[in-house]
Amino acid sequence: MNAGDQANISAGLVKELREKTGAGVMDCKVALSEAKGNVDEAVKILRKKGLAAAFKKSGRTTSEGIIGSYIHPGGKIGVLLEVSCETDFVARTADFQQLVKDLAMQIAASSPRFVGREQVTEEVLIAEREIYRSQAAASGKPEKVLEKIVDGKMEKFYAEACLLEQPFVKNMDVTVKDHIASLISKIGENIQVKRFVRFALGEGNS
């Protein structure tokens, strides 16, 4: 991609793409050039590059980070979560701390049960699949399509029950996992949501 192509991309398009993805100026210009000025296509290009970069960093050790918290107005819902990164420098950046705040608010609002699908217990998986299979069978669907129906319902279950699979609260067009991947690509460090707990007044009382 030559400099002339990038020069033809307007500052307004670059700004719009940056607001949607958080990517750097040059990355946005390159993506817009590849997409011939189509912002939606440029978003897809950046997501693919971001996910690839994030995957390369996903095995790196994350021993720094912060524990974030959020108390919903009224004091009836509270969240604590641990988000880790590779260095204390990144943990103190505005981008990282904003991510932790956003995730805490997301957990308060969306009430996920797990961080990611890998944390869903075998017991829960078996129970959910049995429920969905019974529902599909009761609807009279033929046996050969039952498992496909169950698989589809399990994907919806993951999207509701797992934080990383949920639509990101500030941009419902991307998942939390994809949003984190874009930030990993931007800052150049691995980021992991380690654990969280959500408290709701009265829950758990006998």
Weakest-pLDDT range from 12-26, 93-107, 152-166, 186-200: 12-26
Question: pTM of the entire structure?
Answer: 0.67
In whole angstroms, give the CA distance from residue 196 to residue 122: 20
Average pLDDT for the chain: 84
- Burial bucket for residue 70 (CB in 10 Å: 0-12, 13-18, 19+): buried
| Model pLDDT, residue 173 | 87
The secondary structure of 57-101 as a DSSP string is HTTS---EEEEEEEE-TTSSEEEEEEEEES-HHHHTSHHHHHHHH
Residues in the chain: 206
- Residue-wise pLDDT tens digits, 17-55: 877 766 667 778 888 888 888 988 888 887 776 654 555
| Model pLDDT, residue 126 | 93
